[in-house]
Amino acid sequence: MTSLPNLLWLRSFEAASRLGSFTAAGSELGLTQAAVSTHISALETQLGHQLLTRTTRKVGLTESGRAYLPSVRKALQELAVSTEALFGNRVSGSVTIRAPISEAALIIAPAIPAFQEKNPELEIRLLSAIWADTVLETGIDIEIRLGRGHWPGVRAEPLGAETIVPVCHPDLAGQLKHPADMLDHPRIQILGFDDHWPCFFETLNIAMPSNSASITVDTSLAAVEWAAARGGVALLLGRITSTLAASGRLIIPFDTKLPSTQTHYLLHREAAPSPRSAVRTVEAWLRSLFSSEQSQ
């Protein structure tokens, strides 16, 4: 009987074939690029066939690799389904969500208690991410990202159009009679949204001074805290401002919304098995949550 290849080698082969990169496959599997390369080389040696072509930028499938990949993928998926069916009852109600840190703290976390009152059998694990430039990690059931919808190895499901809205402390709002008055106060700039202030004032036909924003932070969460401390005016995404305005912590001084070039997406790994029932329930809740946040 022919000995079966090492399972780790097969996982590395499948991930590298799907993502087109040893580096991306390593990031997904929690391995180094060198480890993925070693796994695949060992697999090719055992089989006596080259499965992947290597270039400086990406990897591709050889004829043997294309013939072998469907069987490998099917076997891994069947193993995952069988494991879940036989042993998944202990954790079938546990769902791990990863979302941008600001959305996790300001949108998702406050809504979890009400969700769990209706779904007490589900355990939610909420993880935060600052940057959306990594591949989907194993162990993450649901991932929400902010961007333009282009990430390798995943299908991005948009959660609706997004807007940009000004917010400030209620005390400061009384000093703002016209949008141009915001120029007299510190403007809070969020890294990654460098065009927000120029586009906002251009839409209103207001000449913006040449000096940059007075304050720069790396997350919307930091911008919220700065604005709440009477530190200036921030431009935030509409889904975040709706939660803050409802609490009264910050106020929207002007009913002016600018379409955003980025929005939130629910990511689905390509060629992944059907999600568990618990995951589908949480995904449906998140779709509804983000839809209702934007409509407020």
At residue 195, the pLDDT reads 83
How many angstroms separate the CA atoms of 188 and 232, rounded? 6
Structure-block tokens of residue 116: 């769990």
Q: pLDDT digits over 64-112, tens only?
A: 999 999 999 988 888 876 776 555 544 467 899 999 999 999 999 999 9
Structure-block tokens of residue 171: 């005390």
Residue with tokens 């009913």: 255
pLDDT band for 294, please (50, 70, 90 cuts): low
At residue 143, the pLDDT reads 92
Domains observed in the chain: 7-88 (1.10.10.10), 91-160+262-295 (3.40.190.10), 163-259 (3.40.190.10)
Q: pLDDT digits over 138-197, tens only?
A: 568 899 999 888 887 788 999 988 999 999 999 998 899 998 999 889 999 998 888 888
175-205: b (≥16 Cβ within 10 Å) or e: ebeebeebeebbbbbbebbeebbebbbeeee
How many angstroms separate the CA atoms of 228 and 232, rounded? 8
Predicted TM-score (pTM) of the model is: 0.65
At residue 94, the pLDDT reads 86
What pairs with residue 155 in β-bridges?
268
At residue 77, the pLDDT reads 81
DSSP-H helix ranges across the chain:
7-19, 22-29, 33-47, 63-87, 101-103, 109-118, 170-173, 196-203, 220-228, 238-247, 277-295
Mean pLDDT within 215-239: 92
Q: Is a pLDDT exceeding 70 seen at residue 29? A: yes
What pairs with residue 225 in β-bridges?
none
DSSP-H helix ranges across 133-272:
170-173, 196-203, 220-228, 238-247
